[in-house]
Structure 1
Amino acid sequence: MRKRKTPDFLAQAHDPADPNPWLALYLDRSTPLPDEVKKSWLTDSSSNSRQYLLPLLRPIARGFIILIQVLKIFLPRKWSHSRLLHRVLAWGLTRFVSPEANWLILRHFHLGAQILAFIAANSPVPITTTPLEPRNIDDLKDDLFVKHDLNLFNFVIRLNQALRDAGVEMHPPARVDFSMIRDPGLRLEDMPHTRLNFLDLQSAIELFTPLYQLMLTDNDFWRAANSLQLDETIGIYAARLMGAPEHLILVNNKHPLVPMSTLRAGYRLVLHGLSTEMLHSLLMDRKAAQEQPPAEI
């Protein structure tokens, strides 16, 4: 292990003739993100890997997506090696992906599970969830990426079947339950820190997307890509439960009824991760506000 230098955005001097865009984004408070998350996100985004490697990797990766789609015409429809895929992904994350990116990836599973649990607990109908909460990269080997997509679609189906059967719509409860919303307790310093752990989040996703497509069935890959369209759906659920339509600012993957090309799945996956972080941050803020004692008159 080696100690990596991460940028201290607040220590950077401001030159009005040459303002630092990363400092501006770090100081900006219009988007709800904890400082630790924002620092990791911007550290990853401002890396040399993202600046110089991503523009080369992205067209190559998208070219492979097209080639693999053609190849799938000749492969058996049930061609799938999910367990091997997840082992390769875990190996790649451990060996080559930056600590910040790995930390954000692991956080995403926890935050997604908490958000679904929040919607389930405050829904007017009972609904169960299946949380996925990996503590380390090796935990991902248990088909967690595929299970994550299955969980999301199964949740939306079960919730709306129950709402339809009960003849009710989503609405704010008398008191919103935030008990499941918490910091996942993952530590950035526990992520792999070697000289080879340089690959930024977006580059890693662009590289892994063709591999994901190759080693899963067309149906599994299509479902994974289009699960990103449910960002708006989840945002609407949360907004209705809190009576706060302004939370739809988090939606950035466009309309769920208009599936997009899988060529942009890597970029949209990054947006999906960011919107999840923002929604969870808003829920954390609401929870903190609810727990504050009433002001004395």
Structure 2
Amino acid sequence: MADSRHPTRSPFLQALAVDESLPLDPAARQLWLADLERPSRWWLQPPLQALLGVLLHLIWFVKRLPLPQFRAHGLLQRWICAFCARFVSPEANLLILRHFATESNVLNFLVDNGGVEGVEAVTLYPRRLPEMLEASFVEHDQALFRAMRELGGGRPSEAALAPDELRWEHWRPIEMADFAVPRRRTQVLDFESAHALFMCLFCLLLTREEYRDAINGFSLDHAIAIRIGRLIGDPTLPELAYNKYPHYLVGPGNLGQRFLMHGFFTEYLYARLERLRSGACPPSNLDDGRPHFS
């Protein structure tokens, strides 16, 4: 049956709009589907990805040479925020803001339940684009590395915690009404086209080690999924991680897809844990054949 609310959507996208097999917040799903329907995703993003991919590898090569390193974090973030506010679709901007919140929540769940005292909670929860000048992408990466470093080996026991033993002190449920992205007629770029434009800028304005760590940090998704799966008694969570095996360092190849799948992963884990926090599902039910998110 066709979706009466979106009659122009293809049958595949209509199926995605109602499929609940994977944990995904309904708001995030609708934002993503709306962004996919941006014309730029299908005529602009492919050539951008190809052309800028070549430029990215050239910058990567030059940055790896034994030359003096430089960084410009403030300039990088100002350019990104200004560009997003003027040219990137509202749906993509909301997905970017959500990503800060979802990853902060996932890390804070580990901070609260990881069994290590004194680990500082993550506080990056921007609600508007100008707030990203402080809650920057660089700080976002550093918060991940710091949390994983300070958590170390985590709990000595492999036993899962009972639902009433889980702690949520630093968890912040995401309400879309809290986000504000002013709309402009010039905001036409989809999420993936915008990322294709940003990736060369990141490589240029970070040091070679900062950029190498940033693009390999996606693979910590695997370690995070294993840790949370042990805590809640769900061994299937590592299957949600596309980026795996963090000990194998990679370059900027296939960066767009790895970046996007990192975003999906954090949305998946956020939705899984939020459902658990609200008491709407038992600690392990991803393989019981029932829908888990509405």
Matched, 1:192 2:186: no
Cα separation, 2, equivalents of 1:171 and 1:109: 30
8 A contact 1:170–1:237 mirrored in 2: no
Cα gap change, 1:200/1:232 in structure 2, threshold over 3 Å: closer, same or farther?
Answer: same
For 2:212, the aligned partner's letter is W
Other-structure match for 1:271? 261
Cα separation, 2, equivalents of 1:256 and 1:143: 25
Match of 1:218 among 208, 211, 215: 208
TM-score w.r.t. length of structure 1: 0.86
SS state at 1:190 partner:
coil
- The sequence identity of aligned pairs, in percent, is 30
User: In the TM superposition, what whole-angstrom CA distance separates every residue of 1:130-174 from its partner, at most 9, and x where no partner exists?
Assistant: 32111211111226111111111111111116x4xx8x2454234
Cα separation, 1, equivalents of 2:276 and 2:179: 28
| Structure 2: tracts of 5 or more residues without a match | 283-294
Cα separation, 2, equivalents of 1:19 and 1:109: 31
8 A contact 1:98–1:199 mirrored in 2: yes
Other-structure match for 1:282? 272
Cα separation, 1, equivalents of 2:55 and 2:161: 48
8 A contact 2:56–2:200 mirrored in 1: yes
Q: How far does residue 179 in structure 1 lie from its aligned partner after superposition?
A: 4.7
Match of 2:244 among 246, 250, 254: 254
Match of 1:173 among 151, 161, 167: 161
Cα separation, 2, equivalents of 1:216 and 1:26: 38
Q: How far does residue 77 in structure 1 lie from its aligned partner after superposition?
A: 3.0
Other-structure match for 1:160? 152
Cα separation, 2, equivalents of 1:94 and 1:169: 47
SS state at 2:188 partner:
coil
Cα separation, 2, equivalents of 1:229 and 1:242: 21
8 A contact 2:100–2:126 mirrored in 1: yes
User: In the TM superposition, what whole-angstrom CA distance separates every residue of 1:195-218 from its partner, at most 9, and x where no partner exists?
Assistant: 111111111111100000011110
Cα gap change, 1:61/1:187 in structure 2, threshold over 3 Å: closer, same or farther?
Answer: farther
User: In the TM superposition, what whole-angstrom CA distance separates every residue of 1:208-240 from its partner, at most 9, and x where no partner exists?
Assistant: 000000111101110110110111111111101
8 A contact 2:127–2:179 mirrored in 1: no
8 A contact 1:123–1:170 mirrored in 2: no
Match of 2:53 among 59, 62, 83: 62
Cα gap change, 1:143/1:30 in structure 2, threshold over 3 Å: closer, same or farther?
Answer: closer
Aligned residues: 278
Which of 1 and 2 has greater Rg? 1
For 1:140, the aligned partner's letter is M
For 1:238, the aligned partner's letter is I
Give the 5 Å matches for 1:22-41: 22-41=13-32
More helix, by proportion: 1
SS state at 1:208 partner:
helix
Cα gap change, 1:103/1:188 in structure 2, threshold over 3 Å: closer, same or farther?
Answer: farther
CA RMSD, 1 decimal? 2.5
8 A contact 1:44–1:101 mirrored in 2: yes
Give the 5 Å matches for 1:101-112: 101-112=92-103
Cα separation, 2, equivalents of 1:160 and 1:141: 30
Other-structure match for 1:11? 5
| Structure 1: tracts of 5 or more residues without a match | 1-7, 293-297
